[in-house]
Amino acid sequence: MTAHFPKKPTPLIELHDSVFERRQIRVWIKRDDLNHPLIQGNKWHKLKYNLQAAQKQGKSTLLTFGGAYSNHIAATAYAAKRYGFKSLGMIRGDELAGKPERWSPTLKTAHQNGMQLEFLSRQSYRLKASSDFLDELKQQHPDAYILPEGGSNDLAIKGFEPLMQELEQQSPNWTHLLTATGTGGTLAGLIKYAKNHPDDSTTRLIQGVAVLKQGEALLPQIRQWIDHKSAVKWQLLTQYHDGGYAKLSNPLHILKSQFESQHQIPLDPVYTIKMIHAFYQQVEQGAFPSGSQIILLHTGGLQGNAT
């Protein structure tokens, strides 16, 4: 079954708040959580060209890596089911092996969609990108198309080119673009395919908000993916992880509820809420000049709200 791309642009919705009026900025949220019913947001952009490559190579299985709360694991499991592949997830945390009652809703959903789960110790999981480890996996699973953690590779980066073209059509005068950042692939794709502002006197800025501790470790890989092809400025903000990956403090729980109530837009608890938090913190600090036109990218992951 061929992987067809969604053809309709996802909505770009303006957000209204008194603080935006005081700061004289305009803010939109790009509802990319609506681009696919189950392979949401950035996961669809990352997977679409990889699915085509797996089909062309005649592979029968999608093999990938992730933690217990990985949107990528959930999306890959559904994509495999939808497009005729088997799927195998190499999951961080061998303490979960043989204990499905301890699995997160994400893992349960992936398993229900046919993904075979193999649990690795944290020590073994750290080897996920090493050539020896990958060579061994290829020998054990010759029919598998191997996707890295988070689905971030060169084909995933290319998947963001149509999204940036779409944003350019919907909001040609945007000045700032923010996204949550896990493995760095989404941020790299946005940077690589962003164009300069039509008015050369306005410098555009793309910000990634790292959702895990020690996010600065992502920088070398991001630079490699964009290969110096950046027409805009960019930053990786590493101070808004709120305690680490899949950690959410009570203040951010409250912010999530307030945002969802005010704007009637659901957020996920792992990625997008931390981007929203970073955005509001910067607004309070006056980081966005008067006249800024800011886009917040909703990267999906709403399955993370399941309990």
CB 179 within 8 A of CB 185: no
Nearest Cα residue to 64 out of 115, 18, 30, 109: 115
Q: How is residue 178 annotated by DSSP?
A: E
Torsion-angle region of residue 209: left (phi > 0), alpha (psi -120 to 50) or beta?
Answer: beta
Compute the Cα dihedral for 263, 163, 50, 183 and give only its sign.
negative
CB 43 within 8 A of CB 147: no
Q: What pLDDT, on a 0 to 100 scale, did the predictor assign at position 8?
A: 83
CB 215 within 8 A of CB 180: no
Please tell me whether residue 115 adopts helix, strand or coil conformation: strand
Q: Directed axis angle between helix 42-56 and helix 185-193, to 10°? A: 90
CB 120 within 8 A of CB 94: yes
The CA-atom distances, in angstroms, between 58 and each of 32, 61, 84, 142 are: 30, 9, 11, 11
Pairing of strands 12-15, 26-31: antiparallel
User: What distance in Å separates the CA atoms of residue 277 and residue 134, rounded to the nearest whole number?
Assistant: 37
User: What distance in Å separates the CA atoms of residue 75 and residue 70, rounded to the nearest whole number?
Assistant: 9
Bridge partners for 176 per DSSP: 205, 294
CB 190 within 8 A of CB 160: yes
Q: What pLDDT, on a 0 to 100 scale, did the predictor assign at position 156?
A: 97
> What single letter denotes the amino acid at residue 234?
W
> What single letter denotes the amino acid at residue 275?
M
pLDDT < 50: residue spans in the chain: none
Bridge partners for 233 per DSSP: 205
> What single letter denotes the amino acid at residue 108?
K
Structure token digits, residue 305: 């709200």
Please tell me whether residue 110 adopts helix, strand or coil conformation: helix
Look up tokens 């990786």; give the residue: 236
Full strand arrangement of the beta sheet holding 86-92: 115-120, 86-92, 61-66, 144-146
**Rounded to two decimals, what is the model's pTM?**
0.93
